Each structure stands twice: as C-alpha cells, then as structure tokens.
Chain A
Amino acid sequence: MIAARALTRRFGAQVALDAVSLTVAAGEYCVLLGPSGCGKTTLLNILGGFLDPTSGVLEIAGKPMTGVPAARRPTTTVFQDYALFPHMTVAANVAFGLRMRGWPRARRTARAAEMLALVGLEGAGGKRPADLSGGQKQRVALARALAVDPQVCLLDEPLGALDLGLRRAMQAELRAIQRRVGATFVHVTHDQDEAMAIADRLVVMNRGRIEDEGPPERVYRRPATRFAAAFLGETNAIPARVAGGRLATPLGDFGPAGGAEGARLVALIRPEHLRPDPDGPIRGRLREAVFQGQTRRVTVEAGGIALVARLPVAAPLAETVTLAFDPADIHCLPEEP
C-alpha cells in the first residue's frame, strides 16, 4: 500500500529524515516508534502530503505521490491536537470530508451517524467539540478521518494527550476499529508499550533513520541494533567474544556461538530472562533490590558488570545471588564503535 524509497527531508542544515525506505502492506497496522526528534512525525507528514521530501520517491496505492496535495491523496490524518472544527457540531465535523466530496445531505448524515457508532459515540452528533472530553474528541477525530473511507489512515500521537488508563483502553479499541474498517493504519508514538500492543509491524526510528522494523515480538527479542533493543525496554549488554565456536564473556561461557572466530560482540539479555537458580552459571553480589509489585528488580554485580534482573517477588534474597538463563534468550549484536 505504501512504498517509500530513500525519503530524505532537510530543514536547513538539519537532516530530519535520512534516506528512509519503508513498505507497508494493505491492511497492516504499522507503528512508527522513536524518541522525539527522530523523524517519525516528519515521515508521517510526508505520507499525509503536508511536507515535501527533499529527495526520494513515495508511492501510495501504486501511484506516485510527488506533487499530490493532501486533499487528493488516499490518506487522511488524525492530528495530535485533533484539529476539530470548533464552530461545527460533532456530526458536521465527521461529515466534513463527505461534504467536500459532494455527498448529498441525507447520505452524509447517515454515514456520520454510522461512523460515530463505530467509535462508540452514538447520539453525540449534536454536541460541539468543546463539550467533549479528551477521549471523546479523539474518537471524533478518528471518525472524521475514517468517514471518507481512506485507504490509509495516519495517526499522529493519537493517544498522547490521554491519561494512562484511557490510553490503554483506546489502544485495544483502535486495533479493533482498524480490523473492522480494514484500512492501513500508520500510527506515530513514543510509547513503546503502546507500540508493541497494537502494531502488526513496528518501525523503530532514531536520528532520521530506521533502526529496525518487523513484527513487535521479533523486534523485541531479536533487535537489529542496540538502540532498538534499549528503546523497547531495559536490557543487559554484555561484551563478548567468539572463542572456539563458543561465546566467551566476563561472566563465563554463554554457550555455542556462530560468527567468525575472535569476533567482538555484545550479548543482550532482557532482565526478565534471568531467573534465580542455585546452580546457575552467573554468581554475583546483590547491590540493590526494588519491589515493583509483580516482580522485584535487582541489580547484581558479577564479573565487573552490573546486571539487572527481574525476579519473582517470592524468590529469596541473599548477599550472593546466582542466576541462570536460557541460551535461546541471548541475542548477539556486533560491537558498535
């Protein structure tokens, strides 16, 4: 549905987007994740037709988008601040795109009611945007974007202004609505939990480039870069070397390893993949333990490295801690300069 090749965007001397290539299949829920200033919003604005790329080619639904204004693209946008028209009713907001397409009033009204029902706002059509709560405004913005039946719906931090509980509830709902309408969604966020919860395809961005992309589980377990690994959640990075076909680390032997003999690597292991085991290969001194409800986050010093582990609350704590792991949970990356 979306095919971007080598999209670059400069603002003066600053490169906001650096030769980004991305394909998104029809009906996919794609989430662009990254810290602020990583280029994700710039990319979304280029997709929506609000910004020209400095160079690169963009095709949506098989057609080149160069010079095509937002109005004539098969995309609609849900803006971060919702951008609801304050002087129109909710129903008129939702029906605006249809009105611009010359739909007769009766059909518009029916379609607006249908879209409001889709987002769970039946009967709110007569209200003004100012009478709605943040979550309701968000739904109206979504209904307005979907009313014109776009092939691609672009969402710019759509849940950014909502509080945590509402955000989690809306994630599930967004996902369900996307399934029902079947459009391709491209969603920008900086919240990794939100990204992993809704994405079919997760795109992690940093400094104008794509660090990794793929199904969330794959990206989480086998990230392509250190940045992608760290942005999705806490991780332990242990320097390692291939010696005799095995992974040698300051913490001991980490099992068989591929790669050239003598190669310097970084072995990544997530805190929840370390478990207490009296016979475990890692032995260290307990430095800190923080109770976090479901788990206890402990810091253990072993072999000159501070390791973070997430242990069951019931696990006994002693001066010395021994930890074990499943070699399958180890993910190796080449050492970065």
Chain B
Amino acid sequence: MRRFALCAGYMGALYAFILLPVGVLVLFSFQDGRLPIPPFRGPTLRWHEAVLTDRRLMAALWNSAVVAAGSSAVATLLGFLAARGLATGRLAGAAAIRAALLAPLSVSYLVIGLGLLASLNLAGLGLSLWTVAIGHSVINLPLCFAICAAAMGPAVVQAERAARDLGAGEGRVMALVTAPMILPALAAAFLLSMTFSWDEFIIAFLLSRFEVTLPVEIWSLLRGGLNPKTNAVGSLVFLASALVVLAAELALLRRKG
C-alpha cells in the first residue's frame, strides 16, 4: 500500500511537471484579455480567430507544410535506396558508408545550419525555402536511413532474390516487393521526418530570408512578449501534431491487430 502511494505520488508530481506548461499554454489561449497570465478571464475564441485570419501565419504554415513534405520525401527516398544498397552486403567499406550516412545525427543543428550558411555564402547562393528544405533533408536522411536499414532484414533480401529469380527487373523488384514489404518503416520514416522538419527552428531561421516557416514566424511573434495569440498558435500546432501522432499510432495498431 505504501509502495502504491509512493509510486502514485511520484507519477503525479512528474506528470504535473511535464503536462502543466502545455495545459497552461492551452488554457490561456482562451484568455479574454491582453496578457496570458492569471487571473483567467474568458473563455474567448478571439485569439484563435486572430491566428486563423493572420495572413503571415497562414503563409508560414503553408511554407512549413511544403518544406516538411518535400524534405521528408527526399530524405525517405534517399535513405530507402541506400538501405537497400547496403542490405545486399556486396559493398566494400559498407561500415564506413554507414558511419558517414549516420554522422549528421551527432552534430548539433546549429552547426549544420551554420555550415550550410557559410558554404552558401562562399558559393554566392541566396537563401530561400529551398535551402531550408535542403537543411532539413540533411538532418532527416540519417534517421530515414536507419529506420529503413533496420527493416531490411534477411526476409526482405530473400524475397527480392525470389522476385529476381522469377524475372522481375530492378525497378519492379523495388516497387512490387521491397517497398510494400517495408511499408510501415517507410511510413514511419516519412512521418517522423515530417514532425522533425515541421518543428525545426534554428536551421530554418539561419537558412531562410523572406519566406519563413512557422517556427520562425512564431519566433518573431515572441519578440512582442507574452501574448494570448502566441498561446493560440502554440495550442493549434500542438493539436495538429497530436492528431497526426494519434492517427499514425492508430494506423500502426490496426496493422498489428
């Protein structure tokens, strides 16, 4: 009994620590006043409305979606191809290639962004959403590669061999055998990349100029200090991500069951 109380107490305290800030954020997005601080007055939906009618925020949201989808597609495709190439076990220096592909994981985003910024400067190239997408594909490629490589077990390699034996060309082996077999991994890689890119700030901040992504736009909102409108954007972004995660979770569960 004392053990139960101890566990429940600890869990309660940590859950409060973990969940409270988000709870407070959401609560004060309904604040009927200029400042999202106590006492709570409301509720009102006017800040949510202000967000949804803010042209700059909506443009940033669209930019974020495009950058996330594009960079994730590139990262997933490249990661998948490389995982397939390495799964054959026919490459000399496979370990070195694997290490090189995974290397960006151990470097902080600030350094990756700064490196790209420096070389773009040296090459005399301008900044745009394209450069942000390239930056995001660099941070997501190792992740996609690792997820696909983990899914490319011996069963997949054998099935590919069988397909080739039955006369399928390379393209059809990949499209009809490999990709369907590791579809859950491909979906997981793509969705995880999407959320990482969607959420990424520092690379997007360093590598964008006039058109910006949502986290960068929110960052500029923060300059104005505490504001219920920022709460509203944050809550809406949280809600959207939570729904995507929930959908992915349900899809995976249904597959398993």
A–B touching in complex (CB under 8 Å): no
